[in-house]
Amino acid sequence: MKNFLDYLQDNNKTFKESSFNSIDSLILAYLSYFHFPNTLTRLKDLDISKTTKVEKNREFIKRVVTSNRYKDIESCFYVEDTNDLIEKQFSAVTFLLPNNTMYISFRGTDSTLTGWKEDFNMAFMLPVPAQKEALNYVEKVTKLIPRKFYIGGHSKGGNLAVYAGCNLSNNLSTRIIKIYSHDGPGFIKEFLTTSNYQNIKDKIEKIVPSSSIIGMLLYTNENYKIIESSARGILEHDPFSWLINENNFIILKKLSDGTVFTNKVINDFLSSLSKKEREIFIDSLFTVLKSTNLTTLDEISKNFIVKLPNILIAIYKLDDVNKKYIIKTIKALIKSCLTNLSLLIHGD
């Protein structure tokens, strides 16, 4: 089955010959995970020799810069800003398309604890620092370049795209062609009832794989498209696994039963906690993770056994209030899981 690597190889038509589509958006969204020069640069002129050690990424960027469809796209306004103090992980880049439109691309979560902590903070905080930064970025770019534009991103980048698009001033938002969220998490419930969101939601296209976990976190009102993936479970979050047929993703009718169950468990669990309880639990969880003195989840995963004593000591040192909230939160999660499991089994 084909994915966006095959699309890059097979589709050599220019944007004048074949209009912009959802796969183009995914490709430009995924490009945000790479580093770009600060100067205006055509994609075909990028130095890709040190881009990444990951083979599939090397093949991806190689096909992008040699593609007749993408090679003349220009990148500009690349920014990258991670701030541990305010728990912000943000990166964006703008692509100027040959058809006189532009695509503003937001990077998703990296593997740093700071990036993941900010993601978890979305369960009780709006806006988080990256959302504020995304709005400021779009305002700045769209004032400097008076083109119609797309906004998009993969994972957290999709969430940032939706937040920024919803909160732009009217004179700028009228230039939005479409907002793409590629398996991006949702928002706390209150955001979905705001006039800002309601006024722009028809321009949002959300795409999730059938076993989506990340993209179904929190709440979403968009009429999302469910697509087929060659992977399973959490691995479906990888865009390389998303299957296509010519210029379209392969569309499915419904989410997997496991995803519906998991989504219900998580959202019922979050609804049972106050914002303060969510905040205390998340802060305590990351206090424990930071006790390892490691900075990424990858490092923690690889060194978990070695760092387990640090983790246990950190849990022991938590004050009684935090321990109380952690126990309450775990009980709420177990209760939600058992309740929804019963509904799944008995259909009541």
- What tens-digit pLDDT sequence spans the chain (348 residues)? 899 999 999 988 999 999 999 999 999 999 999 888 888 888 888 766 655 557 888 889 889 988 999 999 999 999 999 888 888 999 999 999 999 999 999 999 887 888 888 988 998 899 999 999 999 999 999 999 999 999 999 999 999 999 999 999 989 999 999 999 999 999 998 999 999 999 999 999 999 999 888 888 888 876 799 999 999 887 899 999 999 998 999 999 998 888 887 777 777 777 777 888 888 888 888 888 888 888 887 787 788 788 888 878 887 788 887 777 677 777 766 765 666 555 445 454
Question: How does strand 101-106 pair with strand 88-96?
Answer: antiparallel
Which has the closest alpha carbon to 104: 173, 19, 10?
Answer: 173
Distance (Å) of CA 104 to CA 64, 98, 187, 190, 219: 17, 14, 20, 26, 24
User: Residue 200 has what pLDDT?
Assistant: 94
What was the pLDDT predicted at 91? 95
Q: Are 247 and 26 in contact (CB under 8 A)?
A: no
User: What pTM value is reported for the model?
Assistant: 0.89
- H or E stretch covering 324: helix 320-346
Task: Say how far apart CA 255 and CA 137 lie, in whole Å.
Answer: 34
Return the SS3 of 323.
helix
Q: What is the DSSP string of 210-263?
A: TT-SGGGSSB--S-PEEE-BSS-GGGGGSGGGB-EETTEE-EESS--HHHHHHH
| Residues, the chain | 348
Tokens of 314: 């950190």
* Alpha-carbon 153 to chain mean position: 6
pLDDT for 310 equals: 82
Task: Using alpha carbons only, give the angle 70, 215, 288 rounded to the nearest 5 degrees.
Answer: 115
Instruction: Please list, in sequence order, all residues whose beta carbon lies within 8 angstroms of the beta carbon of residue 110, skipping any fewer than 6 positions away.
Output: 82, 89, 296
Q: Which residue has the tokens 């709440």?
A: 219
Q: Distance between CA 279 and CA 30 in Å, rounded?
A: 30
> What does the DSSP assignment read for 83-146?
ETTTTEEEEEEEEE-TTSEEEEEE----SBHHHHHHHHHTTT-SS-HHHHHHHHHHHHHHHHS-
**Max Cα separation, the chain?**
65
What confidence score (pLDDT) does residue 182 get?
97
Pairing relationship of beta strands 225-227 and 204-209 according to DSSP bridges: parallel
pLDDT tens-digit map of 178-192: 999 999 999 998 999
